[in-house]
Amino acid sequence: MLIPLPIIKQITMGVIAPHGITDIMHAGQKKKIPQLLQIQVATTAGIEIFQWLHQDKLIYLLFFLSSVAHFRHDMPTISNIPRYVCSAFFLAATIYYSYPDLFLLYMAFIHVPNHYRMSVPFLKKEKVQTTMILVGTTLAFWSAIPIIDSLDMWKNIQIQNIAISIIISHIFYQEKFVHSSPAYENNKPESMKKDK
């Protein structure tokens, strides 16, 4: 790993983690809070059941497959290669070849900025509130780093499962209610508009 661990924590908690808060903002505007909560509860319960049944491989498979679906939105259209394939190849390569730095840089400089750019249609409707929520969330996550460190929560399997549940919930909500929106699709760069 080339990026020092303290910087990895800062990027993870200060840049990557807060971007999922846009789901709550979207759900509030579109009156989808009950659906968002249902997704979060169902995902968390499902992951807990898999953990209770000692089905760790199933948890990681679900995490991988949902991530492939989610990250395909960042992949450019290359000839006739489906974007799912590009996404799966990228993720598999970063896992198999242990390139956490590459994945971290992808998240910080491609995925998160792309997420915010494509979210502009609903984020711009309440600019002051959006700014306050994003800044507040970022500061809250950053300030949590010393607490997480002091409790050694980075390696806690229960905390990891909660994080996985939140991420999968984010992906399911995005796929069902955000990416299906014409306004969202129209805000994609041309090279990413054809969803394969």
Q: Can you give the residue ranges of every domain in the chain?
A: 5-190
Confidence of residue 160 (pLDDT cuts 50, 70, 90): confident
- Under a CB-based contact definition with an 8 Å cutoff, are residues 122 and 179 in contact? no
pTM score, two decimals?
A: 0.86
- Under a CB-based contact definition with an 8 Å cutoff, are residues 134 and 18 in contact? yes
pLDDT for the residue numbered 115: 93
pLDDT for the residue numbered 185: 56
- Under a CB-based contact definition with an 8 Å cutoff, are residues 10 and 145 in contact? yes
Q: How far is CA 143 from CA 21, 98, 118, 139, 140, in A?
A: 16, 28, 28, 6, 5
pLDDT for the residue numbered 48: 93
* Rg, the chain, Cα only: 17
**Coil, strand or helix: which one is 103?**
helix
Burial class (CB in 10 A: 0-12, 13-18, 19+), 157: exposed
- Under a CB-based contact definition with an 8 Å cutoff, are residues 89 and 75 in contact? no
**Residue predicted with more confidence, 196 or 62:** 62
